[in-house]
Amino acid sequence: MDGRRIQRVLSSICLAAALVIAVLLVTPPPLQAQFKPDTADAEIEPIDVKATPLAGFEKLLPYKTRFGRLEWRGGLVLTSPSENFGGWSGVAVDANGRGFVAVSDAGTWLTGEIMYDGARPTGVAMARQGPIQALGAKTLKRDRDRDAEAIALVDGTTSRGSLLISFEQNQRIGRFDIGERGVSAPKGYLEMPPEMQRKKRGDGLEALTVLRGGPLKGSVVAIAEHLLDKSGRHTGWIWLRGKPQRFQISDIGGFSITGATSLADGSLVVLERRFRWFEGVRMRLRLIPAVELAPGAVLTGDVLLEADMTQEIDNMEAIAVHDGVRGEAILTLMSDDNFNGFLQRTLLLQFTLHPESQSSAR
């Protein structure tokens, strides 16, 4: 089969998949929710997670590893027999790149260890899953209360440390500990921006990180999925002295913001997603320098990567970073499969972000 015919066949397959996935990505929340398990009675338990390696990031060119400043390290398709496995919308990774904790929009957490062969991720070990709790270790009974969308490691590790978790629908950011019993009940909540009260689901807090460096080191940053101002710009906040201060991010092409993580110097890598009926799902990574991030700022940043269904992406919602042995930033991305494993996938992807001087043409 020649290259052009392969391209036509692949395009047809991608279009058909896009039309089906669209039902999940653009369906109103009440209908999406029917795919989610009821985790009100979930217990902390070890689970089996199978990892199937991806041949490459570019489907027709699996040997291609450089995408501008990003270098493909590897990726996995994750599956599990657990009925509560899926919907992973936020992830945090330890400084060594092994331990991780993820949160699901069904109100569960997942911990484990990423296994490697050299730099290439090969599997997930010691996976354990449990329910996110309310104040006083009470059960989160309502779907709107369980909709966790992002997680950030504040200090320590994913086996013993402290976390922030943001929730959509019932908008809030909670402070949690993590230890031998997994994620604790919340210790309290951050003050929320007044404009986030009574917002519909698509406007909710979708991205969360803690700045690791720069002028605002230690500050919490959160960004709404698709809350636009009168000029069509995305809305985010920086918490200074406990108070949320607003900033804006320029919209490029109608993408929604689904995740963010902080590099060592305090710069932000923002994860974005877009769906269109005749192109399917797209993903973008945008870099925002630390020196530009401030209350009242209007940010644009630089596009690091834009990917579509000819590449190994899905409904990409989670992003984390750790530093390599030479100080290079290593990005870990996860996808939310909407608890529909027949049509969508839970992906774990990794890229190395090289300094600008080492970038190469795509």
Rounded mean pLDDT of 257-284?
Answer: 95
Supply angle C-alpha 59, 63, 69, rounded to 5. 90
The pLDDT value recorded for residue 268 is 98
DSSP code for 68:
B
- CA 362/CA 358 separation, integer angstroms: 12
Residue 34's pLDDT is 52
Tell me how far apart the alpha carbons of residues 36 and 53 are, in angstroms, rounded to a whole number: 26
Work out the average pLDDT over 358-362.
51
pLDDT, tens digit (0-9, with 9 covering 90-100), for 152-200: 999 999 999 999 999 998 999 999 999 999 999 999 999 999 988 766 5
Q: Average pLDDT, stretch 15-25?
A: 47
What mean pLDDT is predicted for residues 59-76?
98
Average pLDDT, rounded, for the chain:
90
- Choice among 3-7, 244-248, 302-306, 342-346 with the minimum mean pLDDT: 3-7
CB-side exposure of 257: number of CA atoms within 13 Å? 32
Torsional sign, CA 158, 81, 27, 253: positive
Contact 299, 247 (CB under 8 A): yes
pLDDT at 2: 52
Which of 295, 302, 238 is closest to 269 using CA atoms? 302
Mention every residue, 6+ apart, whose C-beta is less than 8 A from residue 269: 260, 261, 262, 263, 285, 286, 287, 288, 304, 319, 321, 329, 331, 353
Report all structural domains of the chain as residue ranges with CATH numbers, in order of start: 3-358 (2.115.10)
Residues 232-254 pLDDT 10s: 999 999 999 999 999 999 999 99
Q: Please give the span between the terminal C-alpha atoms of the chain, in angstroms, as a whole number.
A: 26
